Structure 1
Amino acid sequence: MDPELEVFVPLFPKAELVDPASARQGLAALAAAIPSPETPGMTVEDLTVPAGGAGVRDAPDVPDVPVRVYRPRGARGALVWLHGGGYVMGDVRTEHPWATRIAAGSGAVVVSVGYRLAPEHPYPAALEDAYAVLEWTVAHAAGLGVDPGRIAVGGHSAGGGLAAAVALRARDEQGPAIRFQLLNQPQLDDRQETWSQRNFTDTPWIDRDKAAASWRHYLGGRPATPYAAPARTEDLTGLPPAYIATAELCPNRDEDIHYALRLMQAGVSVELHQWPGTFHGSQAIVSADVSQRQNAELGAVLRRALA
């Protein structure tokens, strides 16, 4: 493990999701301790997006989706960004340090999505919320000051899995044209059959058992579909270009690398970066050199993709 990261490992919450409420409090405390960068010239606004998506458009009990919109000066493109947290934790407040960094580093408008969480709202609630925000972002591109042809989706961990699922659904339904996928340590495969999933049983922040608990909460006892677990998708042709970043000591590592290879074999352009010495979520340790490079690269990659 990178020595700058290793000294912080005892400060991370225990890797478990037995009590979702307690886990949410732990993530909120961790996020509150992370400094956000200075953002001169950037406006930040909290909005709500009408619920949408197949099967819920006329459902009165489906709440609107909270979003936090980051608008750097001179933005031309936008990113629909989905937070991590194992489908169980996180919101626009806990994601603020990361959404701010991506907006500042990329110069793109970032629409950070507060999707519904499991186990209270299992699949497909989070996907419906994410897709509704994608449709809203494209429809409101002029008001956001961006080109509707320069819209990307992205996310970290569970949010990366959701972003991949949004791209699949948009392709299959001939929905909004997505320019790019920005997938950071995405959670893609509920089967947990890869070497890293089978062997990383005591890694920081997330290990095999925590990943399994996350999938149980998200699936709610139902079989996984490709939109729930994108690694199950047989046909990956016609998807947007992707950037996939993995952490060396992360259970998701191998499923992410396999997904990147399958995308390339399907004719999709992919940039794959495996960060040595890192663990899942270790970019939260912003003082470490490797974390600074990881966070800066997300912004730089998105800037190039939307240029």
Structure 2
Amino acid sequence: MPSTTLQSSNLPLYNRSMLNNPRPSNITRRTFLGVGGAAAVASPMRAFAAASQASNSSAVKVEKGVVYGKGGSMDLHCDIYRPPPGTEKHMALIHLYGGGFRGGSIADLPDKVTPVTALGYVSIAAQYRLTGVAKFPAMLHDVKTAIRWARANATALGIDPKRVAVVGYSAGGFLALAAAGTMNRPEFEGEGGNPKVGSELAACVAFYPRTEISLEANGAAHILLPPGSDAAAHRAASPTTYVSPAFPPTILYHGLADMNIPPESSYHFLQLLREAKVPSELHTFDGVPHEFDTHPEFAQATAELTDFFLDRHVLHPRTYPPFGPGGGRGRGSTAIG
């Protein structure tokens, strides 16, 4: 475990001036005594839990190199991670790797995917085209193809087709949010397979995502979009454009020491979700950088937080009086702190 204690924050409303202040003074932090922190209080319990988690992780089975559709003329592959017998929740999580849209592959995902799979989810690590092959929206088309494929093959996967979610990391988080905001929009569906199946999502999980490429004049925009793309094209490619009350329940994670994609990206998105009254959470961790979940304790902690979020918003939706559905502010968002 790194020296930094896992923490979460009460979240301020986003202000564009925060881009110049990566550690806003109005963030208040509490020691996180949820999934990871509570176990630290009682070391015997923690040791038992760790042994149980290790056992479950070792029981995860992986089927590699399954073709799920077409991206242009190329086959698109996925790795299917199946949960241990007896833990099945009959829900699929489609995982999308990071890499700045220019790199990354499904081979990067096992350490991120396994902990949440061990909790009972079918995980699908899905390939998507990079910008060296095709520009946006090609990679979003591929994500939609993966969603439709999972829903079309629900019986073989052992899932409920209404229980499919996306989980994205960095650039993959951008694509996860974009997919969640553009469900069944023809211009973003592509022609990769299963055209008669919808791309509905039950939930969205985004780790340290970029959320608005229009803010990146010399960054993601010139990587993701064709040369000469104007401001309208930037807006059309930004997940922030598509936040509405129809957006599925969403949980975000961000390290407060992320120098690659500042946490304000997630703050901004949470504010939009709140305004649309979408069930949503943002968990921030003090002193940790981009891709903090490569550390096994953070991977396990975020897996359990994700599991709890999905259980109360998708698997067993419930009301917590006086808080409302899912334990949030009415049907609105919850900021854990």
Q: TM-score normalized by structure 1?
A: 0.72
1:270-285 equivalences under 5 Å are 270-285=280-295
Question: Percent of counterpart pairs with the same letter?
Answer: 27
Structure 2 CA distance for partners of 1:261 and 1:156, relative to 1, 3 Å = same
1:105-116 equivalences under 5 Å are 106-116=119-129
Paired letter, 1:297: L
1:197-216 equivalences under 5 Å are 212-216=218-222
For structure 2, list consecutive stretches of 5 or more residues without a partner in the other structure.
6-52, 187-196, 316-337
For structure 1, list consecutive stretches of 5 or more residues without a partner in the other structure.
6-35, 53-60, 194-210
Structure 2 CA distance for partners of 1:226 and 1:45, relative to 1, 3 Å = farther
Distance 2:226 2:132 in 1: 7
Corresponding residue to 1:239 among 234, 237, 247? 247
Corresponding residue to 2:146 among 129, 133, 155? 133
Aligned length: 247
Report the Cα offset of residue 181 of structure 1: 0.7
**1:154–1:183 CA contact under 8 A, matched in 2:** yes
Distance 1:252 1:102 in 2: 25
1:42-121 equivalences under 5 Å are 42-46=60-64, 47-51=66-70, 61-72=72-83, 73=85, 74-104=88-118, 106-121=119-134
Alignment match, 2:276: 266
Corresponding residue to 1:218 among 196, 206, 224? 224
Distance 1:107 1:305 in 2: 16
Alignment match, 1:183: 206
Q: TM-score normalized by structure 2?
A: 0.66
Q: Moved runs in structure 1, 4+ residues, more than 6 A?
A: none
Report the Cα offset of residue 159 of structure 1: 0.6
Corresponding residue to 2:301 among 290, 293, 299? 293
Alignment partner of 1:229 is 2:242? no
RMSD between aligned residues: 2.7
Report the Cα offset of residue 297 of structure 1: 2.6
How far does the alpha carbon of each residue in 1:95-121 deviate from its partner, in whole angstroms, 9 at most, with x for none?
1211122212x3110111111112332
Structure 2 CA distance for partners of 1:256 and 1:219, relative to 1, 3 Å = same
